[in-house]
Amino acid sequence: MADISFQTGPYTFNYRVAALVEDRGRYLLTTTPEIDFWFLPGGRVKAGESALEAMSRELQEELGITDQDTQLRWIVENFFTLGGEQFHEIGFYFVVSLGPGTELIGQESFTRDPAWEFRWFDLAAIQALDVRPKFLKWKLAQRGQGVSHIVFRQEEQDYVEI
């Protein structure tokens, strides 16, 4: 199955899932050597795959996690530029609760595949990081319930919650 990502006019369109993995007030973020910012674990949805199936697959591929509870939290329309390329991304962001005894909880940081670095950050540390999308700095601190629809435009550095 192919990733749902394609060129349309001046934009690259992505359909993505992301994991809000939280443990004792810390959130799991990731980065790679090619970029200089942090983001949530996850990835692109494949053709024929539901967002929930994609989230389960990404957690297995990136973190080796098979025992988790996931709940949809945000549907995000994200407009941004990266490396001179314009993106229009639709993202489903899931709160992920790890099963008891999951080994990742006890690790401050770890690597996978060997280029992916994962690290736990508390909310104060996240405020000092370059985190993308930037609305995460504000939204992670809010303890809302239910599903929200967020529109974020990178150039405006602000989001609208619908």
SS3 139: helix
Q: For the CA atoms of the chain, what is the radius of gyration?
A: 15
Q: Which CATH class is domain 5-161?
A: alpha beta
The two structure tokens encoding residue 140: 């992670």
Q: What is the pLDDT of residue 47?
A: 97
**Mean pLDDT of the region 103-127:** 83
CB-CB contact of 98 with 68 (8 Å): yes
Per-residue model confidence as pLDDT tens digits over 11-61: 999 999 999 999 888 999 999 988 899 999 999 999 999 999 999 999 999
Q: 3-state DSSP call for residue 142?
A: coil
Give the residue extent of every domain in the chain: 5-161
Structure tokens at 96: 């992920």
Q: What single letter denotes the amino acid at residue 91?
A: G
Give the pLDDT band of residue 159 (cuts 50, 70, 90): confident
Angle at 41 between CA 98 and CA 154, to 5 degrees: 135
Q: Is the pLDDT of residue 111 over 80?
A: no
Is the pLDDT at 142 greater than 90, yes or no? no
Mean pLDDT value of segment 97-120:
78
Give the model's pLDDT for residue 82: 92
pLDDT band at 158 (very low <50, low <70, confident <90, very high): confident
Nearest to 28 by CA among 94, 90, 91: 94
**CB within 8 Å of 38: residues ≥ 6 apart:** 29, 30, 31, 119, 121, 129, 130, 131, 132
| Per-residue pLDDT at 101 exceeds 80 | no
**pLDDT of 97:** 86
List pLDDT tens digits, range 57-96.
999 998 888 877 899 999 999 999 999 999 999 999 999 9
User: Pseudo-torsion of CA 135, 128, 34, 62, nearest 10°?
Assistant: -70
